[in-house]
Structure 1
């Protein structure tokens, strides 16, 4: 079964599916908070069924190739990373008029179930970073920002109080330090994910936009002269195909509920510990 219900319904509907003995592919995020996500992950593990989460950017072939490069040791020890998810629908009508369409307005309102850009696309760029780096987040600090978008920051029934931009500093379990950020105010970027990983032997960059995806690397002798080369990669199967294969084989596959719960723990931590920047 594929669960494509709204975020707030993922917990109740998925738990019912598991109790009914169904294999489940759930849309991201797994839940709206870590408590629910952890309960879902535990129930999934106990069920013996195939359970996965549709983190769609796992379908990006350069991201899969980047992870292999890291795990193969081609970059050496990862020291620094930069991950960004840039959207511009608050300053562009390329996807429609957000001031008049509910499909956008609810994403700006906490009472309509939104956790802002952090919950909407933050989970994507967080997974993008930790998957490629092959390491989970160990420590993090964050800043969330809500910008004024209309008189009183309200349009009709929608209070526009969900975060529009988030900034996170993080250290991974492998010791790498870096930044993860996302915004809906990135003029000139319709929907761009970008990741840079820097190791003590080499570096790579993955870029994904509506026009396509690329992987570049600077490694070996090229590192001395900072020469970057494009790497061609083969297509990969989608999450839906992996899920179907896993069900046929009766074997679990990733991204699973346990991983998604870990991501939700980081997102919850970002909200709970978000602080104001110190004025100079």
Structure 2
């Protein structure tokens, strides 16, 4: 079973990578800007967010081809956030996905602009994807509205602000969870909700169940990231370990210890799976397998 989901994630990640590689950003882009955008966008990575878009769309009986532009757009949003997070004024990281970070190659100003461009292009790609899929106008507008909500000042960006504000401070477990919910959970929730909407789900109980699953997945993803920053293999992770401690980040291992963090990870995954495992209006197996994969990932 584990090999099957690893193959699935690898295949879907390759599908997304191929589409991103084909994407030309409309032409007439300054070569340096295009090079820096593609440098980070095509650097590899887990591609969990776009995979969740595709897997959720399939789980609700939708068309994967219709969901693919949205999956690519969300990876653009995620990549922009990584470029900016790595900047010296924020997390000050030298490596990402096993390669020098964008600002190390292109300079800080160009890295900022590459991130800006990827974020902006993502909205255009979602709009054209909605048109190509024949989504009703109200559904397309809802997806774009939620992109702003989950990636912006009330979501992922807010999470980064709270993360930086928590450095070198004594914070509670609840406050750490809020940072993770926004910084990581919101974009994962948007990925799942978008896959569901493109697949035909509208507002209702199924969407709420999928959202609860997604937030559980997002929290588990970040707890595992915290754990791997303590015990992970730098070669597998593609970035230095121990940076959270060096930067005095508020993490689960720092607050409750490594072993309790591992137990909490299992509990969070179990709770997330329970939100969708018994639904009759969903084929949840692939999503449940992804949750199990995240429990044991090493990168």
The two structures share one fold, judged by TM-score above 0.5: no
Q: Rg larger in 1 or in 2?
A: 1
TM-score, normalised with respect to structure 2: 0.30
**Structure richer in helix, relative to its length:** 2
The answer to which structure, 1 or 2, has the higher relative contact order (CA under 8 A, 6+ apart) is 1
TM-score, normalised with respect to structure 1: 0.31
